Amino acid sequence: MAWFPESLRNLRRDVFFLVLLSVALVFAVAMPSRLASWPSLVDWPTIAALTGLLILTKAVEESGALAHAGRWLIDRTSTRRVAALGLVAGTALLSMLLTNDVSLFVMVPLTLSICRIARMPATRLVVFEALAVNAGSMLTPIGNPQNLFLWQQWGIGFGGFVWAMLPVVAIALALLLALTAVAFPAARLEVHEHIDNGLDRTMLIVAAVLYVPFLFLADMHHAAWGLAGVFIVFAAFRRKILAAIDWGLLLTFVLMFIDLRMLAGLGAVKGWLGALDLHQPRHLFATGALASQVVSNVPAAILLAEYSHDWRTLAWGVNIGGFGFILGSLANLIALRLLGEKSAWGTFHVWSVPFFLVMGAVGWLLL
For residue range 232-277, list pLDDT tens digits in order: 999 998 888 888 887 877 888 888 888 878 887 787 777 777 788 8
Question: Model pTM?
Answer: 0.76
Mean pLDDT for all residues in the chain: 85
Q: What is the dihedral of CA 286, 292, 297, 301, to 10 degrees?
A: -50
283-324 pLDDT, tens digit per residue, is 999 999 998 998 788 888 988 988 888 999 999 999 999 999
Per-residue confidence band for 359, with pLDDT thresholds at 50, 70 and 90: very high
| Per-residue model confidence (pLDDT) at position 5 | 42
Q: Are 188 and 78 in contact (CB under 8 A)?
A: yes
Ranges of each domain in the chain: 4-30+38-189+197-366
Q: What is the pLDDT of residue 135?
A: 97
Candidate from 64-68, 192-196, 201-205 with smallest mean pLDDT: 192-196
Residue 39 has pLDDT above 50, yes or no: yes
Find the mean pLDDT for residues 1-23: 69
